[in-house]
Structure formats: C-alpha cells, structure tokens
Structure 1
Amino acid sequence: MTSACGETDKLLAMICQPAEVLGHVNIPSHVRFWGIDSGIRHSIGGADYGSVRIGTFMGRKIITSMASAPLSRMLSSEKPPQQANGINYDECEDSVELLEAEASLDYLCNLSPH
C-alpha cells in the first residue's frame, strides 16, 4: 500500500482490513521513525503470525530503549547543547511529555493478537 499510495515525508493513514487509504499526514522535522522488518511472509491467520508478533514485541523493546536515550540525555542535563547526536533540542523542548509517552509505549501491550 505504501509503495503504491504513499508520499515522500508523509505518513499514510489507512485502515488495514479492508485496505482503505484515509489520507496523508505530514511528518514534523523533529520526529523520527524506526521500523523492523521480520522478513517473514505471513497472514494474520497463519502459523507464522505468532513468530512475527513475538519479533514485533522484541523489536518494540529495542526501539523504546533506543528512543528513551535522547529523553534521558535531555532530562539529565540542565542545559543540553543546542544540537547533539542529530537532535535539535530547541525543536524538542516542548515535546518532553510526548517523548516520555512514546518511550513507554505501554498502550501497545494491550493489543489482542486477533
């Protein structure tokens, strides 16, 4: 879907089942996205789905750990440098609450596998 309907520097808002494109969302310059491709072809009803789901949650743990590192650096320093490690802290100044929420991602743990 994204290769056919997506646009550069925008998120594709969609409903997966049935496949329905809702539109495109601009991505702010200070927002970063990470993803992990398991490489496993599967359907949501197949036996490989459990493996993909386990891999997804393992990846989630890695991503939240890495995503929380900039937040830890921001909160541990009284006055961080204006830009370090590719992060412009002036742009993120108003985003500490969002970073905290996204670093925890606890809401994903409540998703049912079906």
Structure 2
Amino acid sequence: MSNDAIQVEFPAELMWPEETKADAELSLQKVIVDLASKSGMKATTFNNTLTKRNAQRAIASFNIEMEGVLDDAYAFLAGLEAHQPKIAVGNLRIRPGQLRTGPAKQGVVRVQVDLWIYWSSDA
C-alpha cells in the first residue's frame, strides 16, 4: 500500500466561471431571481449571505425568500436541481402562507432558501 496522495480532479460541473466573487454573486442572484419568476414564485426578499464553510474552493452565497403556490415552489426546486453549473442548497424552509382569495382559492407557501456555489476565475 502506497502513502502517495491520490489527486482527484475537482468536478467541472460544480464550478462557476467568474472573474471575481462579486461577479459570482451577481450571476447566482440573476439565475435564482429568473428561475423564481419563471416558476411563478414572487421574490419578497433576497441578499448575499456569509458562508461559514471551510471549503476547498471559493464560495459565493445568496439567500432568497419567495411566495407562491406549492406547485410553483416545486417547479422552482426542480429548476434549481436541473441547473448547470450546480447550485447547492444550504438551508431550505417551506411554510404555509396566507390563503389566496378569488375564484381559484389556493394555499400559498413561503419558501426561504440559502444557496451557494463554487466559483473560480480559472474555470
């Protein structure tokens, strides 16, 4: 058995190619706000978050709170899962919101999610 360290290549699908952390944060924000809008969710608050991880690579993170019906929340999560490069979920909270009135009464949910990405200017 050898004591040589095995070098493992960092998965390319996890790395966002951006020049600076600010660029990575703006790119992540745009993707998430667009995805929320396309899935029918309404963004109510969003901001950058501090990452408290000891990671192998540079990280940019973002927090968003949205409101919509449950099916729209599922559509948002499906879009998030399918996105390339990958977006990691730090925390996810879904809770009941207020009932919508009108002809199509539907229960509203509030979704709060902390998201983060690996980024590099070398990617």
TM over 0.5: no
Structure (1 or 2) with the greater helix fraction: 1
Query: What TM-score, normalized to structure 1?
Result: 0.27
Query: What TM-score, normalized to structure 2?
Result: 0.25
Question: Which gives a bigger RCO, structure 1 or 2 (Cα 8 Å, sep 6+)?
Answer: 2
Structure (1 or 2) with the greater strand fraction: 2
